[in-house]
Structure 1
Amino acid sequence: MLFDDIANLIRTLVLGVCSYGSLIVALHLSGKRTLAKLNAFDLVVTVALGSTLATILLSKDVTLAQGALALVSLVLLQYVIAWLSVRFDTIERLAKSEPAVLLRDGKIIDDALRRERVTVDEIKAALRGEGLGDFQLAALVVLETDGSLSVVPKSSAGSRSTFPSPVQ
Structure 2
Amino acid sequence: MDSIFFNGWENLFRTLIIGLLAYGVLVLFLRLSGNRTLSKMNAFDLIVTVALGSTLATILLSKDVALAEGALALGLLIFLQFAITWLSVRKRWVKRLVTGEPLMLLYRGEFLTKALREARVTHDEVRAAIRSNGLGCVSEAHAVILETDGSLSVVKKGDSRADSSLEGVRQLDR
Aligned partner of residue 114 in structure 2, secondary structure = helix
Q: How far 1:111 sits from its partner (Å)?
A: 0.4
CA distance in 1, matches of 2:148, 2:157: 22
The aligned runs of 1:124-143 (5 Å cut-off) are 124-143=127-146
1:31 aligns with 2:34: yes
CA distance in 2, matches of 1:131, 1:51: 40
Look up the match of 2:107: 104
Q: Please tell me whether the aligned partners of residues 138 and 153 of structure 1 are also in contact (alpha carbons under 8 angstroms).
A: yes
CA distance in 2, matches of 1:166, 1:53: 38
Look up the match of 2:21: 18
Equivalent residue letter for 1:138: A
Q: Which runs of 5+ in 2 are unaligned?
A: none
Q: Which runs of 5+ in 1 are unaligned?
A: none
CA distance in 1, matches of 2:135, 2:144: 12
Q: Please tell me whether the aligned partners of residues 18 and 60 of structure 2 are also in contact (alpha carbons under 8 angstroms).
A: yes
Equivalent residue letter for 2:160: G
Equivalent residue letter for 2:43: A
**Larger Cα-atom Rg:** 2
Identity percentage of aligned residues: 55
Aligned partner of residue 145 in structure 2, secondary structure = strand
Flag as ranges the 4+ runs of structure 1 deviating above 4 A: none
TM-score (norm 2): 0.86
Look up the match of 1:44: 47
TM-score (norm 1): 0.89
Look up the match of 1:167: 171
Q: Please tell me whether the aligned partners of residues 104 and 171 of structure 2 are also in contact (alpha carbons under 8 angstroms).
A: no
CA deviation profile, 1:127-165 (whole Å, cap 9, x unmatched): 22223231112112111011111122225x331222144
